[in-house]
Amino acid sequence: MAVPPDVVKRAEELRAQIVHHNTRYYELDSPEISDADYDQLVRSLQHLEAEYPELAEASPLQRVGGAAAAAFSPVTHRVPMMSLDNAMSGEELHAWSERVERGLAGAGAAFVCELKIDGLAISLRYERGELVQAATRGDGKVGEDVTANVSTIAVIPARLTGPSVPEVLEVRGEVYMSLASFEALNARVAAGTEIEDRKPRKELFVNPRNAAAGSLRQKDSRITARRELSFWSYQLGEVVGGPQFSRHSETLEFIGSLGFPVNPEMRVVVGLDEAEAFCRHWQEHRHDLGYDIDGAVVKVDDLAQRELLGFTAKAPRWAIAYKFPPEERNTVLRDIQVSIGRTGRATPFAVLEPVFVGGSTVAMATLHNEDQVRLKDVRPGDTVVVRKAGDVIPEVVGPVLGLRPKDSEPWVFPSTCPCPIGSTLVRAEGEADTRCVEPSCPFQRDQRIIYFASRGAMDIEGLGERTVQQLSDAGLVADPGDLFGITVEQLLDLEGFARVSAEKLVASIDASRSRPLPRLLTALGIKHLGPAAAEALAQAFGTLDAIMAASEADLATTEGVGEVIAASIHRWFSDADHRAIIEKLRSSGVDFGRVEVSRLPQVLTGRAVVVTGTLERYSRDEAEAAIKARGGKSPGSVSAKTFALVVGEAPSAGKVTKAQEVGIPVLDEAGFIHLLEHGELP
């Protein structure tokens, strides 16, 4: 049956787009679309080729990667460097497993599960123990000679020693840039000290993968060395005169014994259920690592079974890449606007063409401040990279410069507040933030009330942003002190309130009168004063009146407060308008002196105990509260000062690794209970 003309046309369009984006990604290190959008193009062409096989004859899907760049000498791979087929869901992973089982005539298989590092594939060739050549994957058959640059990567051995070193050994792996190195690199770019092509680089790097690829292709290897690249090895290529292996896991052990870094999260599992559990675990914990991953790789462990399964034109049948949902997508930046916070801080944000990323549809994203907008040089009309990782607020990473409209103009930070008053926005000398300095700004007013009612402050359930705006627009509240006079009847006059919801909100406001003093202090929104310092002040002074009466010097002597916070507190309580709010709260019956004093033995005084993973007897908040109730601290990260790390189910691999590196004791739940009771390690 002839292929319909419209299908032929669509296939040609998809081929052209895929070839174009392969060149941008593999050869120019300057992609114009996200990985997820590229995968969608590939899927569309795959579906057409599956329905009309004759379309596959000249398909770019039969090729790997992109051509070698002319700036580097070509290297022909003696053993082709193939790519992997992708699974985008558990169903597709199971479908691959069923194909493997059929290929093995029903025999079972053990799998090796590895993290899919978001970097650049590299082949390292050693002859008689000497590194003689390093090459990129290129199109799978011909890559680029990047030996001089790879030689600057500290973790890659220049020479192999020992009785088991083969005459010829090819080790394959992934060159990547750690998150710490990526942040340091962009900090140098922002400071104007990162030199590239003999001049300071102006554009921030969008992500570690692009930064690593660009760094590896520098003509000056001294630049590559400064970029602090890293490497994980995961495969053998050509081997002459080496030991014989029966399993892939044995080859990884051998590679590691020669001094190559092998990722410690590699696991050998039996059956697909365990493999899928590995994939799901790292999908949830991908941000616990110090480097980016975009999936997991599942491989058949038995090398003889691999021989039976063989290859397609571009990928092995014995391996699959399980791709995680994308956390970066490209979309159009419609506009840049400014929001005003409770302290008057003016924060620019992006209004986006809605895009699904990181598990939700994103239509707005933060741009942080004026300097960040200028540094990233994002403009209305740009195609931009949007990133949303887990619960982190979405942000615009940067523009795709190759798609910028020709009539584009840099965005200019506004000089007036967008509120009805239209007051002047001011940026003080030496500060990064621009602020609205008009105290009566209605935007600041609403944000102060919203913060007062938030979960970490007075925790007034049902008093969200929309309700606060309704209350202020109706003239019912002008500051937090007015909240306690709101009646059910007043709420019934507002849109969306029935008697039940109105009574529930009034009850929630009433219940907040007895919140502990640290929460009340936090809720006031005093600059620099956070929950930890509020807790310390409450313990030291006992009542809000005592804190208000204290001198700046007395406040500063409180542990965890210091001169900056003390000055801010003293200045806040010296303001007549703030004093008026305090008196409203007092007359409304808000408790000014409820301090929760622990009666438990203070066996953990001065000790920091970090909790990671899920415990059976304690939620995360309960575990941290138990530590603090005994005089201890529970920070979010492990350091050399940490006394112990408590590990539950599905812990942070990064925290466990850090604890092992610096010699911090690691406790299970039973050990944690012993620590709480005795203040000593079991």
- Write down the CATH superfamily of domain 608-678: BRCT domain (3.40.50.10190)
Which CATH architecture group holds 74-323? 2-Layer Sandwich (3.30)
| Token pair for 305 | 């079974």
> Domain 442-587 falls in which CATH fold?
DNA polymerase; domain 1 (1.10.150)
Active site residue 116: yes
User: Domain 328-405: which CATH class?
Assistant: mainly beta
pLDDT digits (tens, 9 = 90+) for 53-103: 888 776 777 666 555 555 688 999 999 999 999 998 899 999 999 999 999
For the chain, the structural domain boundaries read: 5-62, 74-323, 328-405, 442-587, 608-678
Please, which residues have CB within 8 angstroms of residue 659's CB and are 6 or more apart in sequence? 610, 638, 642, 645, 665, 666
Q: Cα(397)–Cα(367) distance, rounded to whole angstroms?
A: 9
- Give residue 582's identity as a one-letter amino acid code: I
pLDDT digits (tens, 9 = 90+) for 625-662: 889 888 888 887 888 889 999 998 877 767 887 888 88
| Token pair for 142 | 């011909």
pLDDT at 359: 73
Of 69-73, 273-277, 587-591, least confident by mean pLDDT is: 69-73
Cα separation values, 624 from 245, 471, 598, 633, 676, Å? 48, 36, 14, 8, 11
Closest CA to 449 of 469, 435, 433: 469
pLDDT band at 233 (very low <50, low <70, confident <90, very high): very high
Global pTM value: 0.64
Q: Can you say how many angstroms the Cα of residue 547 is from the centroid of all Cα atoms in its chain?
A: 39
Q: Cα(101)–Cα(9) distance, rounded to whole angstroms?
A: 37
Cα separation values, 552 from 119, 397, 519, 531, 555, Å? 52, 42, 21, 19, 5
- Write down the CATH superfamily of domain 5-62: Helix hairpin bin (1.10.287.610)
pLDDT at 620: 76
pLDDT at 58: 67
Which of 191-205, 431-445, 539-553 is the most confident on average?
A: 539-553
Q: Cα(318)–Cα(303) distance, rounded to whole angstroms?
A: 10
Do 328-405 and 608-678 share a fold? no
Q: Mean per-residue pLDDT for 572-599?
A: 89
DSSP H or E run through 254 = helix 248-257
Q: Annotated catalytic residue: which of 9, 116, 199, 633?
A: 116
